[in-house]
Structure 1
Amino acid sequence: MTRIFSKIINSRGAALISAALAFFTLSSCSISRPSGYQGYQTRGYNVRGHHYQPMSVDQALNFEETGICSWYNESKYLGLKRGTTSLGEKVWPWHLTGAHKTLPLPALVKVTNLKNGKSVKIRINDRGPFIPGRHLDVSPRAAKKLGFYDQGTTTTHLEVLSVGDGSYKRKKKKHFWFF
């Protein structure tokens, strides 16, 4: 009798564990970009003896840049431990996020791979890349969507769409041909 009872408990325990894992995995997959931050950050910072001063919100809203883009992964232990960005957000490798040295945090940008024409909107919520000659780092999922994950780097064009979150969010103004 005790063997049958222990098998029932073990099968229920396994079912509960697998259900909990499925719930947490699916709930984190539903959000492609982390959020929840209110406002934006423009304060300067130092890395490896170099001072960086982020641009103002008005400068950022009209900002476009072309350069070398790479991908990086903030998570650890094969993606089982989430990484933390400069904004303090927890991210998974499948989030569509990125890092830039001088944009206000957070910012929503459109990134276009100039080699294949693919583009994706990502949330800039981290600082970097601090490798000379690179203008942008993106998450592994963004690199896959842009089609350069296996190559490691590519040439991209970045266009800022909005800066800030919540009631502080400011969007790029759209101009009509008659204004």
Structure 2
Amino acid sequence: MRVAKVCATALLLGSSVANAESGMASYYRGVGTSGEMTCAHRSRAFGSLVRVSYRGHSIQCRVNDRGPFVRGRIIDVSTSAARALGIVRAGVVMVSID
């Protein structure tokens, strides 16, 4: 019975579970002054929305660039997104994205 519940939950959450990642995130400065929360990701489609979570904060960013190109990092967020997440001082932090 428990296996059936796990399978049903996996089917319901299928796409979000399959696209979930966790790893290091950093932020970039300057790329615009619009204040839009954008990000760079290596493989997500341009224009897609990504939820980034860090220590109880969660935001949505629009993918508008490729990167990061630093080994071990999974996403770069804009300065406005970094402020919303509270990572400006830390610079590089462990996040989860989906």
| TM-score bucket of the superposed structures, by smaller chain | 0.7 to 0.9
- CA drift at 1:98: 0.2
* Largest Rg, 1 or 2: 1
Tell me whether 1:151 sits opposite 2:60 in the alignment: no
How does the TM-score come out when normalised to structure 2? 0.77
| Unaligned 5+ runs, structure 1 | 1-58, 76-82, 84-90, 160-179
Tell me whether 1:118 sits opposite 2:60 in the alignment: no
- CA drift at 1:60: 8.5
- Aligned residue pairs, count: 84
Q: Which residue of 2 aligns with 1:97?
A: 38
- CA drift at 1:104: 1.4
Per the alignment, in what secondary structure is the counterpart of residue 83 of structure 2? helix
Q: Which residue of 1 aligns with 2:48?
A: 107
Q: Which residue of the other structure, out of 11, 17, 20, is the alignment partner of 1:64?
A: 20
Question: Which of the pair is proportionally richer in strand?
Answer: 2
Q: Which amino acid aligns with 2:39?
A: G
> How large is the Cα RMSD of the aligned pairs?
2.0
Per the alignment, in what secondary structure is the counterpart of residue 80 of structure 2? helix
Runs of 4+ in 1 over 2 A off after TM superposition: 59-62
**Matches of 1:61 and 1:97, distance apart in 2:** 22
Q: Which residue of 2 aligns with 1:139?
A: 78
Structure 1 residues 141-171: Cα deviation after superposition (integer angstroms, max 9, x where no partner) = 1111111111101111001xxxxxxxxxxxx
| Unaligned 5+ runs, structure 2 | 1-14
Q: Which amino acid aligns with 1:66?
A: S
How does the TM-score come out when normalised to structure 1? 0.44
- CA drift at 1:92: 2.6
Assess, with a 3 A threshold, how the Cα gap between structure 1 residues 142 and 120 changes in structure 2: closer, same or farther: same
Asked if the contact 1:70/1:138 (under 8 Å) is kept, the reply is yes
Identity %: 35
- CA drift at 1:103: 1.0
Q: Which amino acid aligns with 2:23?
A: G
Per the alignment, in what secondary structure is the counterpart of residue 62 of structure 2? strand
Asked if the contact 1:111/1:158 (under 8 Å) is kept, the reply is yes
**Matches of 1:125 and 1:143, distance apart in 2:** 16
